[in-house]
Amino acid sequence: MRDNRSYLIKKILKQKYPNAKFKVRIEKYTLGESINVYTNLLHDVDYNEKYELEQKMRINGLAGKDLQAYKNIRNKIQRNSEINNSIRTLLKDYYHVNYDEWGNILAGGNTYLHIDILRED
């Protein structure tokens, strides 16, 4: 029997975000599998620039272009987090991870969900 979860997942995502692009891949391996969702809803964040601006802010504060750049980075991070949480909520029935009583991940039978930027080549 063919595994059609990629199709079903993409259909769920398209209902919520009809204008977005998605690519869904399921990778199966020994003891588990990963569902990889790629979307153009997420934005690239330059964490090096964020770090540099934070260092600058601690020393002299930020103003002008630097302040705007920092706000833009923070907005992208916030938006990515919101999208990530929304997708995880939509797909909650498709992934699961088993833990022992100490919080360690148990080997075998886990389905992980990874959400990343869709890079169009």
* Local confidence band at 121 (pLDDT 50, 70, 90 cut-offs): low
Least confident segment among 14-18, 25-29, 81-85, 117-121: 117-121
How confident is the model over 16-27, as a mean pLDDT?
95
Q: Residue 111 has which token pair?
A: 């389905």
Helix axes 64-90, 47-60, angle to 10 degrees: 130
Contact 9, 35 (CB under 8 A): yes
Please classify residue 111 by burial: count the beta carbons closer than 10 Å to its beta carbon, then call 0-12 exposed, 13-18 middle and 19+ buried: middle
pLDDT band at 24 (very low <50, low <70, confident <90, very high): very high
Average pLDDT over residues 92-109: 92
List pLDDT tens digits, range 27-61: 998 889 999 999 999 999 888 888 888 888 877 88
**Which sequence spans correspond to the domains of the chain?**
5-117
